Structure 1
Amino acid sequence: MRTVKRVHPAFRDDIGDLVTRRPVPGPAIGHVGAFLFLNHHGPQSYPPNNRGLPFGPHPHRGFETVTFILEGELAHTDSAGHSSIIRAGGIQWMTAGSGIVHAEVSPADFKRDGGPMEILQLWVNLPARLKMAAPRYVGAQAEAIPSVTADGATVHLISGEHAGAKGVIESLTGVFLSWVEIEAGGSVTFAGLEGRDVFLYCARGMFHVEDAAVAHFHLAELTPGDSVTITATEPTLFLFGHAAPIDEPIVAHGPFVMNSEAEIRQAFQDYQAGKFGVAEIVEA
């Protein structure tokens, strides 16, 4: 069984009026295997006639972004021709691959009416053989995401398999990703973790792994092992994922994650030359 090796707090790093916390990278942890970066935006409530989210068109190359919309709405547009508005409980999975420009903003009705907003965005690394893969995007509303409920826990399956159910996304690298809601007194066990990098972040409430408590806005770094059991004594929501190790150099600069400085320079050159295309902002 895996246990908690260390708990890492998410540090505040607000973006304008957007409340933002980041557990990784942090002072004591650079990444969790393939899981490179997590921004936890909110929870907060926007008033009517707000400016919405500030993420206008920007580029990426060399990795994937997975965005969990816990509350509110998120409008996505990218230079590969994809667009969608995903509501609470839905997800967005974007493979930047060889290069993409995307915008993630609040739709017009949210800016007009306001409301609660809480969004998590996770960056997932790609191995060298896939860093220049064709960009792709999948947006899924809550009703399209399979879930498994047992022992007071509901596992919302984004990718991979659990208890006979399969996630809505087919990961290029076999990544398992889920978000989990546990009632007070509930528990869930995940197995098949031997040799995998495990990502476990508490977004709401508090969970326990054996005797170790992990409160909201904290990342749990786990010891090696084949399984982990997570329990809760209060309503709790957390992200859980695991991935095969990528034993390659990680060179990150701004919106690009590659294997060398030369590849980072090339990414900037390609973007500045217009090779990533253009994304228009969704207003409807």
Structure 2
Amino acid sequence: MSDAVIYALSPITFRLDLKDPFLFTAHHIDHFPKANANLGPATAAQHQEFNMYYGDTVPGFPEHPHTGFETITLVEQGVVDHFDSLGNGGRYGAGDVQWLSTGSGVEHCEMFPLLNEDRENPFELFQIWFNSSPEQKQQPADYKMFWREHIPHVSAKDTQGRDTNIRIISGQYQGTEAISRPPHSWAAAPENKVNIYLITLAPHATLTIPATTVTATRFAYFYQGDSLELANTQIQHKHLAELKPDVNIQLQAGEVEARILWLEGEPIGAPVAMRGPFVLNTNQELDDAFRRYRATHFGEWPWPSPAPVFSREQARFASYDGGQRKEFPEQS
């Protein structure tokens, strides 16, 4: 291992432990079977082949609170139904990204309806817990959908004519800018250089990620493929590398296509006090937030159950402004 470039290398089963401005990332993978009429699994799990999480019928995470940070949800396979205490809802699927600023507090649920009754329902997503500055933690909650049709890509050939592709979720790559982030996000300011990429390399393809600043945090998670050469070091799939930020880093795929989640950005530099789904700066702030949540629930829950879902036929969409405005992705 090159100690000068790779600071740490860790095997990953589910949780990626990260550093400021990132908190952690969860990599959910489930091999759900065919669906029943109620959008749940038609058969029970065998030998932990899938997780029901906390849903009684439909897999997912029923109503729960957050405050003080952001969740960035990148769906690779499957469908997510979103509902929140702001009165907004939506459905998004493979290739889409939801960016939720929890700010001063919000309740939401994330359900994973199984839509296919005639075939299996594989499910995979990343959820990045991304910190907010002390000032941003006081702002109202907000969210934004990044539809797969709109997310910028940089596709190119390497010197041997092999395909490389970068989906730019945040920041920029080679002058191509991501969709704007919610306004009260640490990632919204260009000077914070928060770059989040989903990288796909054809077999044996090479790609160089340019240096960022010496003060930045930088991670690469190799989550699909047989092997990856990273900074002249061979790593196996499902390994997380913490990297030196101020150098160019070359990646090369192995015998099969490689996929990498790339995370980098300037640290916020504020104290972190984290308790369950709340992320603030002091224990006193956490105590105050829990008291406020018990008194207000961060607003009334306007939905008929803690774990609602849309119908099987519902197309992808998002609603904003308390459900007054709906947005559907423009098909490319």
TM range (shorter): 0.7 to 0.9
Asked if residue 163 in structure 1 is aligned to residue 163 in structure 2, the reply is no
* Unmatched runs of 5 consecutive residues or more in structure 2: 42-56, 188-193, 312-332
Count of residues paired in the alignment = 269
Looking at structure 2, the residues matched to 243 and 87 of structure 1 have their Cα atoms a distance apart, in angstroms, of 26
Name which of 58, 65, 84 aligns with 1:59: 65
Per-residue deviation, 1:190: 2.1
Distance in structure 2 (CA, Å) of the matches to 1:208 and 1:148: 21
Q: 1:77 aligns with which of 78, 83, 90?
A: 83
After superposition, residues 187-202 of structure 1 pair within 5 angstroms as 187-194=206-213, 195-202=215-222
Matches within 5 A, 1:27-66: 31-49=18-36, 50=41, 51-66=57-72
* Distance (Å, rounded) in 2 between the aligned partners of 1:66 and 1:279: 23
The answer on 1:274 being equivalent to 2:296 is: yes
Question: 1:240: how far off?
Answer: 0.7
Residue 114 (structure 1) shift: 4.8
Q: Which residue of 2 aligns with 1:232?
A: 253
SS at match of 2:62: strand
Which of 119, 126, 135 is the equivalent residue of 1:120? 126
**Contact 2:218/2:245 (<8 A) preserved:** no
- Equivalent of 2:147, from 141, 166, 184? 141
For 1:32 and 1:54, the matched residues in 2 are separated by 27
Q: 2:223 aligns with which of 203, 206, 210?
A: 203
Task: Indicate yes or no: 2:204 matched with 1:176.
Answer: no
Following TM superposition, by how much is the alpha carbon of 1:208 offset from its aligned partner in structure 2, in angstroms? Answer: 1.9
CA contact (8 A) 1:72 1:88 kept: yes
SS at match of 1:142: coil
CA contact (8 A) 2:68 2:105 kept: yes
- Say if 1:145 and 1:48 are closer, same or farther in 2 by CA, change over 3 A: same
Following superposition, the deviation at residue 43 of structure 1 comes to 4.6
Per-residue deviation at 1:112? Answer: 9.1
TM-score norm. by structure 2 comes to 0.75
- The range that moved more, 113-122 or 56-65, is 113-122
- TM (norm. structure 1) is 0.87
Maintained 8 Å contact 1:23/1:218: no
Name the CA shift for 1:256/1:276 in 2 (closer, same or farther; >3 Å): same
Q: Alpha carbon RMSD of aligned pairs, Å?
A: 2.1
Runs of 4+ in 1 over 4 A off after TM superposition: 110-114
- Name the counterpart of 2:283: 261
Identify the residue that residue 15 of structure 1 maps to in structure 2: none
CA distances 1:208-267 after superposition (whole Å, capped 9, x unpaired): 212222322221111342332222123111111211112121111000111100111111
Alpha-carbon spacing, 1:42–1:279, altered in 2? closer, same or farther (3 Å) = farther
Which of 218, 227, 234 is the matching residue for 1:213? Answer: 234
Task: Give the C-alpha shift of residue 282 in structure 1.
Answer: 3.1
Deviation of the 1:279 alpha carbon: 5.9
Distance of aligned partners of 1:232 and 1:279 in 2 relative to their CA distance in 1, 3 Å threshold: farther
Larger radius of gyration: 2
What's 2:267 paired with?
A: 245
Instruction: From the two aligned structures, give the one with the greater strand fraction.
Output: 1
CA–CA distance in structure 1, aligned partners of residues 116 and 128 of structure 2: 23
